[in-house]
Structure 1
Amino acid sequence: MPFALAATALLAISSIASAQTVRIANQGDALSLDPHSLNESLQLSIDGNAYEPLVDLDKKLNVVPGLATAWKQTSPTVWRFDLRKNVKFYDGTPFTADDVVFTMGRVAGDGSDMKAYVNDFKEVRKIDSHTIEIETKTPLAILPQILTQVMIMSKKWCEDNNATRPVDRRKGVENTASFKTNGTGPFHVRERQPNVRTVFVRNPNYWGKVEGNVQEVIFTPIASPATRVAALLSGQVDVMEPVPVQDIARVNNNAATRVLTGPELRTIFLGMDQKRDELQFSNVKGKNPFKDKRVRQAFFQAIDIEGIKKTVMRDAARPTALMIGPGINGWSEAQDKRLPYDVETAKKLMAEAGYPNGFEVAMNCPNDRYVNDAQICQAVAANLARINVKINLQAETKGTYFPKILRRDTSFYMLGWTPSTYDAHNPLNALMRCPDDKTGAGQFNLGSYCNARLDELTVKIGAEADKTARDAMIREAFKIHTDDVGHLPLHQQALAWGVNKKVELTQRADNYMPFKWITVRK
């Protein structure tokens, strides 16, 4: 956000603040209010205050009832859900089974960025007004966890507002759901000014319990870290994130503020185009270096991850060899061993692959999504220069970055991923499985890495209920991916939220911030 725009937004929020108003700043904005348009944690966190799933998560990330009060498997491939009664959408329309069936079809349809959550569904059917069944193609033991990210929308409202299909970020298509909300959740959007501010107000008819006292939330994107920190220290905002790692001590030393820190379940990684026969955005013609494992391994071993941890992340990161970290079911400490940082070995691998003089390639990175994202990419580019790879770095706001890479219009890119089910099946299915645009499998495998055995294991992992057998298959799948150097995992970043001491809130390891748990003391 330009400084003048940020100053205007800060003036606006400070002028209307009250005792039960909380003012939250983030380095970026939700790109849409449509909960099915972008599978990004910030957007899902924000939209999740207005919309709700059938199955929810508590403060400790345990599965709890949401819009479904109970569920059970009636056969290996069929789950039955009892829906909550006497629930209404914000416009007063009753919540029924028709809304669930409609939502699941919307999520599976064109424009949806959430297809990976329902790609194993065979049919969703209404039993009665408050009972539905989901039949899966194969047994799916973690179905309740998967549903925690699928937010329910009103069939009638979507039809009345020409929003039956999700907002397609890849094509820049917008509809009413981009700017307005009509969910069953504890808050409703009163005002939406994209990239300026979004104002939420309490839903007076919310069916559930709201622990906090906040009646109004003013969410303001402030891209500049310095401006964001200054706003917190001066009292113009009450909560901000992320706190730049270099400013954590400063915020903690201020009498009115503190930093909440903790491990995040998100893994930051780099992906490479492994599908095209000729690499785009490169000086290599007629072939694709990233199809060669030796090139991928050379890139991996040329990245000084400890240097990035120390100088860029100020030690607020945990280097990783896997696409998941501690806290995710299936993570194995024994497998989480990186190939050594070794420039000379990397040079030899490049020479063996036929690139002794390296090559040139563009790298796409966001500059307002992850902690120090652009700086990480700059460091990677400097590292790769040591093996004669020239990186043309294209760092940009996530508003243009995500549509580009989601179209797979990229050769080399950064992405962060928090497994929303807190299980290894999620990244295996979404990030590492061969892409299938029809089903949504591998929807975020943007470089099209592909291994048939890993795909086979992913399906079996989804179906297996025995933990010992399941964990063995997860280990095999990750070994395949590691041996293939399918992606370049970097680290799990740490959470750092700046909070005014008059504010009480819950910091979850998935970096979601439910407003219903926020209290502002006078």
Structure 2
Amino acid sequence: MNKKNLLATSIAALFMTTAGFSFAANLKIGLAADVNSLDPHYFNSGPNNAMASHLFEALVSVDSDGRIAPGLALSWKAINPTTWEFKLRQGVKFHDGSELTAEDVVFSLDRPAQIKNSPGPYTSFTKQIVGKQIVDPYTLRLKTATPYGPLPLDMSSVFIVSKKIALQAGTDDFNSGKAAIGTGPYKFAAFKRGDAVELTKNDAYWGDKSAWDKVTFRIITAGAPRMAALLSGDVDAIESIPPADLSKLKSNAKFKLEQKISWRTLFWHLDHQTRVSPFITDKAGKPLATNPLKDIRVRKAIAKAINRTALSERILEGLAVPASNLVAPGVFGYNDSLKVEAYDPEGAKKLLAEAGYPNGFAITLHGPNNRYINDEQIVQTVAQFLSKVGIQAKVETQPLAVYFPKAAKGEYSMALLGWGSLAGDFALRTVLGTVNAENGWGSWNWGKYSNHALDEAIESSLASVEADKREAFAKKAAATALQDYAVIPLHHQYASWALRKGLKYKARTDEFTFAHQFKPE
């Protein structure tokens, strides 16, 4: 080897050593939430979608600021009020070498409706489509029954799979890797449920190639072990930094932080059903014949009883801002005329008395203990706030895998949920729209809230092709829901990542952790 080549090799080796990476360019990331399926049409949850984005892609992609951009579709346009035309990229290959065509897209748009017993279906993104026309192998027209402006945004949430591979495949086949054949920047290597997901670089990827030959995502849902893994070098980066460790990381020159207000809003779902609510009693433990949460005065009292500023600053240590909307500031449809509910415990007591509960009642608050920043502490703190105004609150938190299925069945009276969306009308349609299996509305409407005026405002928003008109209706819908205290907003969560020195990552509004967007400095 001549001196010039030897010098170049030495410099490269030095760089890889000082950056803390092996010559094989492996990346290890600690995830804060469990990935329970690799079937991209089974369970619409943030952790699943983030992982699926490594293996699969959608027609439309979303950038780090929440703006839509070309994905598998190079372009799209409305050729009339009820027809959108999508032009596909040519030459895109699935991991098995077969070429992506419009046939695969049509199959992928049909598949979510065929998934049985989904705990969080994708059908809200596909139900509007009543016709699919393949013009040629790279041109597809999607027809809706009525004008529907946000169809391109819907198409950012439906992953495209290979018809040939997935036609006879079930969810287990995706989880085993047999059917996990997409067009994404990585290929399946291993899925160890509850422990890790391993991926390898797709060298034939049509877009920018990843810097990493292999990526290992370790599932570390508890904050302390996740932080310990970073400090010990077991992982190169983590998401969702435990609030108590922020100052420690900021003062450690071996690491860097990336932060951004995310799209995720945490709020309370309330039982709106006319029934004996399962976790509401009098203070002696006797079930109440009437559900007090049906009374807007009670819902407003709960909102006033919560000190959101204290919650954000103390319990979340600055990793949140108080919320008044179901979506975060800057998101399409955010209504800035809605103000954060003022902390007013005396006003809450007065409202409870007016509603016929001068001595309050008892309620159990439910929430996850391994999904959101300090989620268990959030539930406990809100319980303390409610107890101060006469609502005797108990707490029951559970792992996400146990909590979500029960909450989705309406088994709780007051349940914590975090929701992220790139559009206010989307969030309202899914979280508060009247439950309707035919059109996919209300798939996360745990409290079974139903309001005809809200549904009309959402429908008007979704039917507007002009952005200004659509946003005006979206803001009207937000006001309709939140002035009725359909849910009780708490805060907008910060997204945060901690990285080893030598790495860089651009913080994302959607909180997703994408291995292919980590770069060596």
TM score, norm. by length of structure 2:
0.90
Q: Deviations over 1:175-212 (max 9, x none)?
A: 212342211101012011011111111112222222x4
Alignment match, 2:195: 196
Letter in 2 for 1:177: F
| Counterparts of 2:230 and 2:350, CA distance in 1 | 50
Matched ranges for 1:319-330 at <5 A: 319-330=322-333
| Counterparts of 2:327 and 2:66, CA distance in 1 | 16
Alignment match, 1:150: 158
Contact 1:29 1:220 (8 Å CA) reproduced: no
Matched ranges for 1:206-245 at <5 A: 206-210=205-209, 212-245=210-243
| Counterparts of 1:62 and 1:311, CA distance in 2 | 32
Alignment match, 2:389: 387
| Counterparts of 1:477 and 1:70, CA distance in 2 | 30
Letter in 2 for 1:21: N
Alignment match, 1:275: 273
| Counterparts of 1:127 and 1:374, CA distance in 2 | 52
The counterpart of 2:307, out of the listed 283, 304, 308, is 304
Q: Structure 2: which 5+ runs fail to align?
A: 1-20, 282-286
Deviation of residue 18 (structure 1)?
Answer: 5.2
Matched ranges for 1:490-505 at <5 A: 490-505=490-505
| Counterparts of 1:78 and 1:334, CA distance in 2 | 34
Matched ranges for 1:369-518 at <5 A: 369-419=371-421, 422-518=422-518
Alignment match, 2:363: 361
Matched ranges for 1:112-261 at <5 A: 112=118, 113-161=121-169, 163=170, 167=171, 175-180=172-177, 181-210=180-209, 212-261=210-259
| Counterparts of 1:19 and 1:507, CA distance in 2 | 26
Please say which of residues 488-497 and 470-479 is displaced more in the overlay.
Answer: 470-479
Alignment match, 1:95: 100
Contact 1:20 1:520 (8 Å CA) reproduced: no
Deviation of residue 45 (structure 1)?
Answer: 0.9
Letter in 2 for 1:152: I
Q: Structure 1: which 5+ runs fail to align?
A: 1-15, 168-174
Secondary structure at the counterpart of residue 254 of structure 1: coil
Q: Deviations over 1:268-310 (max 9, x none)?
A: 1111110242211332333211111111111111111112112
Contact 1:104 1:124 (8 Å CA) reproduced: no
**Structure 1 94/472 Cα, relative in aligned 2: closer, same or farther at 3 Å?**
closer
Secondary structure at the counterpart of residue 159 of structure 2: coil
Alignment match, 1:10: none
| Counterparts of 1:228 and 1:363, CA distance in 2 | 27
Deviation of residue 467 (structure 1)?
Answer: 4.1
Contact 1:506 1:513 (8 Å CA) reproduced: no
Letter in 2 for 1:383: F
**Structure 1 205/469 Cα, relative in aligned 2: closer, same or farther at 3 Å?**
closer
| Counterparts of 2:325 and 2:354, CA distance in 1 | 26
Deviation of residue 261 (structure 1)?
Answer: 1.4
Deviation of residue 330 (structure 1)?
Answer: 2.1
**Structure 1 455/193 Cα, relative in aligned 2: closer, same or farther at 3 Å?**
same
| Counterparts of 2:489 and 2:449, CA distance in 1 | 14
Alignment match, 1:172: none
| Counterparts of 1:59 and 1:332, CA distance in 2 | 22
Contact 2:76 2:86 (8 Å CA) reproduced: yes
| Counterparts of 1:308 and 1:152, CA distance in 2 | 40
Task: Report the identity percentage.
Answer: 32
Alignment match, 1:5: none
Secondary structure at the counterpart of residue 236 of structure 1: coil
Q: Deviations over 1:214-266 (max 9, x none)?
A: 11111011133222112212222111021111211111222211111121121
| Counterparts of 1:393 and 1:36, CA distance in 2 | 33
TM score, norm. by length of structure 1:
0.90
Please say which of residues 391-400 and 372-381 is displaced more in the overlay.
Answer: 391-400
Secondary structure at the counterpart of residue 58 of structure 2: coil
Deviation of residue 319 (structure 1)?
Answer: 0.4
Secondary structure at the counterpart of residue 42 of structure 1: helix
Alignment match, 1:289: 292
Contact 1:32 1:179 (8 Å CA) reproduced: no
Contact 1:91 1:182 (8 Å CA) reproduced: yes
Secondary structure at the counterpart of residue 28 of structure 2: strand
Deviation of residue 120 (structure 1)?
Answer: 1.9
| Counterparts of 2:465 and 2:368, CA distance in 1 | 38
Contact 2:226 2:238 (8 Å CA) reproduced: yes
Q: Cα RMSD (Å) of the superposition?
A: 1.8
| Counterparts of 1:219 and 1:296, CA distance in 2 | 41
| Counterparts of 1:18 and 1:197, CA distance in 2 | 22
Q: Which runs of at least 4 in structure 1 moved beyond 6 Å after TM superposition?
A: none
Contact 2:229 2:235 (8 Å CA) reproduced: yes
The counterpart of 2:89, out of the listed 77, 81, 84, is 84
Letter in 2 for 1:233: L
Letter in 1 for 2:164: K
Alignment match, 2:13: none
Alignment match, 2:3: none
Letter in 2 for 1:91: D
Deviation of residue 378 (structure 1)?
Answer: 0.6
